[in-house]
Structure formats: C-alpha cells, structure tokens
Amino acid sequence: MNIDEVKERAFAMPVCNPAYPRPPYRFYNREYIVIKYRTDPDALREVVPEPLEIVEPVVNENGGAIFDHGSGGIVLLRAA
C-alpha cells in the first residue's frame, strides 16, 4: 500500500479493517437528554483534578440513544 492509497482509505483504523463505516454518518430516530444542576462547591472540588478550576458549581449529565444509524444496532450514549 502506498501513501496515496493510505490517504484515500484511512478514515478509520485499522486501515485494512476499519472499526467504523465510511462517512457521511447519518443518525435517525435518536433520543438525547442533558441534565444541568448546581451542586455543593466543596463536593465538586473533591472530584475535580488539578489544574482544572471550578468557575461555577454546575454539573452537566448527558446521555442518549441512537436507534437508526449507518452501523446497525442501538448505540447508547453516556458521558463519563
């Protein structure tokens, strides 16, 4: 495989057996939720590592599910 073939095929790794289908990606029939809430600043300081700083004591939780997409199957999304 030469450099031109790599540039043409390398949209995901490994190049010979990509983990994802070729773009464009299409997502249909999806659900998504964002929960934003204020929390105790001291409790937040215990879990936020240095050198990160807390601007305001707000936590965001994100999650969702995509039922119809190019790869097949259901994808569940959750922020870590």
Listed by start position, the domains of the chain span 26-80
Please give the pLDDT value at position 79.
Answer: 59
CA-closest candidate to residue 75, choices 27, 33, 23, 34: 27
What pLDDT score was predicted for residue 46?
93
Distance CA 37, CA 60 (A): 7
Report the chain (80 residues): mean pLDDT per 10 consecutive residues: 80 79 73 90 92 92 74 62
Q: In what order do the strands lie in the sheet with 75-78?
A: 27-38, 58-69, 75-78
Is pTM beyond 0.85 here?
no
